[in-house]
Amino acid sequence: MNNAQIEIQLIAALVAAACALPGTFLVLRKMALITDAISHAILPGIVLGFFITHDLNAPLLIVMATLTGVLTVFLVSYTQKTGLVKEDTAIGLIFPALFSIGVIMIALRANDVHLDVDAVLLGEIAFAPFDRLVWLGVDVGPKSMWVVGTVLFISVLLLNFFFKELKLSTFDSGLSASLGFSPVLLHYGLMTLTSVTTVVSFEAVGAILVVAMMIAPAATAYLLTKDLRKMLFLSAFFGVLSAIAGYWLAHFLDASIAGSITTILGMLFLGVYLFSHKKGWIAVWYQQKQQKLEVSLITFLLHIHNHDLASERHIRHLREHINWHDVTANAVLKLAQKNNFISIENGLVSLTDKGLAFTKQAITYIMDNHTEGIESMKQKFFLFRG
């Protein structure tokens, strides 16, 4: 690894961590799409700043672009408050308009400005190490590393100071408002932080992939934990991991670094989405199937319990009576037999003692509306789950 490679990875990791922190709160506050709006709508701010400073890392440009971001949030909430359109429509109306203004501004001054819409939208982290920061005559590293690092440092600091306020207003905004923490102030504080982070990150990963860096690690972490602290750490971890893995994928394929980082983020999310222990797609699918079978089983036992007539309890009759397919009926019968709830003689189904006890308890729970008690009852009686 040469020096530039290490620096690129370092910048990517810093960007990932800086994005993951506000991203976590945005996902929890159901405002994930506001990042999409901000990252596009800052374009006119960036362009205007660039016309003045001719440097993408200039403080003035960062301030102007950040203000544009906050303005976007304000415009969205104003449009929403008029009640003329829903919130998501408001987002979808505001940011394309601002983005278009930015693109047109660039197009009109294309001859004397070296700013490319592609560069803003897609970013190119590979060029980041060329723009050095020289301090007191000493080369101290790439400029964007220092800029992103500073923003990350500030957000960690702010997060430490306002952790409980943010936590409270995220999960119970009513309570936090009544305790005297201004929701508006916290909201705009978070939005300002999001804007700053977006502005300093876009050069490295581009406006659209900032959205991925903010949302994807947080969403992945959210599927794994319900603890806010753990979620913050996990999402920062996922971000940094994908940043470094993505760099090497890009190196290997000779393709866009930002695209590779996002692809790794996507694969991470897909993996967790499918295989997460409790909330993954497969786990949920399995749970739903299990639940369905067990509910069928209880229905079946209640039916047997209600009927003494031999004709009502015959296996073949059951299939017609409860109107199940053969597959379902077989699965239910097998489960009931495995758990010793029923015995079958000459095709007649009858409840065993254990089955009778189970059914009676189930009836009391259902009559008393204590349906949540059924879950613990299942734990007690079932040898095999559905």
Residues engaged in binding other proteins (CB under 8 A): 27, 30-33, 35-36, 40, 79, 82, 84-86, 88-89, 91-93, 96-97, 99-101, 103-104, 107-108, 110, 117-118, 121-122, 208-209, 211-212, 214-216, 219, 222-223, 250, 253-256, 258-263, 265-266, 269, 273, 279, 281, 284-285
- Sign, CA torsion 170/283/220/240: positive
Which of residues 40 and 143 has its CB atom nearest to other proteins in the complex? 40
| Gap between the Cα atoms of 225 and 223, Å rounded | 6
CB of 107 to other proteins, least distance (A): 5
CB of 251 to other proteins, least distance (A): 12
Which of residues 80 and 352 has its CB atom nearest to other proteins in the complex? 80
| Gap between the Cα atoms of 172 and 203, Å rounded | 35
Which of residues 117 and 366 has its CB atom nearest to other proteins in the complex? 117
CB of 63 to other proteins, least distance (A): 25
- Sign, CA torsion 65/70/71/75: positive
Which 3 state secondary structure label does DSSP give 57?
Answer: coil
CB of 239 to other proteins, least distance (A): 13
User: Closest Cα to residue 171, out of 30, 32, 36?
Assistant: 30
CB of 298 to other proteins, least distance (A): 25
Which of residues 126 and 156 has its CB atom nearest to other proteins in the complex? 126
- Copy the structure tokens of residue 157: 């600091």
Query: How distant is the alpha carbon of residue 57 from its chain centre?
Result: 30
The b/e string for 168-185 (b: 16+ C-beta within 10 A; e otherwise) is bbbeeeeebeeeebeeee
Largest distance between two CA atoms of the chain: 99
Which of residues 196 and 213 has its CB atom nearest to other proteins in the complex? 213
CA angle 184, 172, 278 (to 5 degrees): 130
Which of residues 93 and 158 has its CB atom nearest to other proteins in the complex? 93
CB of 295 to other proteins, least distance (A): 19
CB of 225 to other proteins, least distance (A): 13
Alpha helices in the chain (DSSP H): 3-28, 32-41, 43-53, 59-81, 87-108, 117-122, 143-161, 163-171, 173-178, 183-205, 207-224, 228-253, 257-275, 281-306, 315-321, 326-338, 353-367, 373-381
User: Closest Cα to residue 381, out of 313, 316, 294, 311?
Assistant: 294
Which of residues 9 and 263 has its CB atom nearest to other proteins in the complex? 263
Radius of gyration of the chain (CA): 29
CB of 351 to other proteins, least distance (A): 36
Which of residues 100 and 182 has its CB atom nearest to other proteins in the complex? 100
